[in-house]
Chain A
Amino acid sequence: MPDALMQKIKNFIMDEFLPGEDPDELIETTPLISGGILDSIATLKLVMFVEEQFSVNFAPHEVDKENLDDLVSIVRLIRAKNPSAA
Chain B
Amino acid sequence: MGTDVCLHELFIASARRSPQALAVVEPGQGSISYGELDALSDRLRDRLAELGVGRGDRVGIFLRKSIDSVATLLAALKVGAAYVPVDPGAPAARGAYILHNCAVKVAVVETALAGKLAAALANLGAAPTLLAVDGLLDGGAGLLAALDDADQRASAAAVDSVASAPDELAYILYTSGSTGQPKGVMLSHENAVSFVDWCSETFSPTAADRFSSHAPFHFDLSILDIHACLKHGATLVLIGEDIGKDAPRLAQLIADERISIWYSAPSILALLAQFGGLAKHDYSALRQVLFAGEVFAVKHLRALCEFWPTPRYFNLYGPTETNVCTWHEIPLPVPPERNTPYPIGQVCSHLRARVVDESGAAVAAGSEGELCIAGPGVMRGYWALPEQTAKGFFKDPDGSAWYRTGDIVTEADDACYTYRGRRDRMVKRRGYRVELGEIEAGLYRHAKVKEAAVLAFADELAGVSITAFLSSDDAKRPSLIEIKRFCAENLPLYMIPDKFNWLDSLPKTSTDKVDYQRLKELR
Contacts and interface: CB of A to CB of B under 8 A. Distances in A.
A25 B246 contact: no
Contacts of A44: 247, 271, 275
B479 A35 contact: no
B248 interface: yes
A37 interface: yes
A36 B461 CA distance: 19
Contact of A36 (B245, B248, B271, B496): B496
Contact of A35 (B245, B461, B484): B484
Contacts of A34: 488
Interface string B446-473: 0000000000000001100000000000
A70 to B, nearest CB: 12
B487 A40 contact: no
A51 B462 CA distance: 23
A21 interface: yes
A36 B480 contact: no
B493 A35 contact: no
B481 interface: yes
B249 interface: yes
Most A C-beta atoms less than 10 A away, residue of B248, B461, B487: B248
B interface residue count range (under 10 / 10 to 19 / 20 to 34 / 35 or more): 20 to 34
Interface in B228-262: 242, 245-249, 252
Contacts, number: 51
A57 to B, nearest CB: 11
A21 B247 CA distance: 29
B160 to A, nearest CB: 44
A25 B480 contact: yes
Contacts of B425: none
A8 to B, nearest CB: 19
B485 interface: yes
Chain B interface, >50% SS class: helix
B493 A36 contact: yes
A21 B493 contact: no
A40 B480 contact: no
A18 interface: yes
Q: Is the interface of A mostly helix, strand, loop or mixed?
A: loop
Given A18-B480, A36-B488, A63 B246 contact: yes
Given A22-B479, A25-B479, A44-B275, A31 B485 contact: yes
Contact of A37 (B461, B462, B481): B481
B460 to A, nearest CB: 12
B252 A36 contact: no
A1 B41 CA distance: 54
Contacts of B462: 41
Given A40-B246, A41-B462, A63-B246, A25 B481 contact: yes
Interface string A28-44: 00110011110111001
Given A39-B493, A40-B271, A60-B252, A20 B246 contact: no
Contacts of B245: 40
Contacts of A35: 481, 484-485, 488
22 contacts: A18-B481, A22-B479, A25-B479, A25-B481, A25-B482, A26-B481, A30-B481, A35-B484, A35-B488, A36-B487, A36-B493, A36-B496, A37-B484, A37-B485, A39-B493, A40-B245, A44-B275, A60-B249, A60-B252, A61-B249, A63-B248, A64-B246
Given A25-B482, A60-B246, 20 more contacts: A18-B480, A18-B481, A22-B479, A25-B479, A25-B480, A30-B481, A34-B488, A35-B484, A35-B488, A36-B488, A36-B496, A37-B481, A39-B493, A39-B496, A40-B246, A41-B462, A44-B271, A48-B275, A60-B252, A61-B249
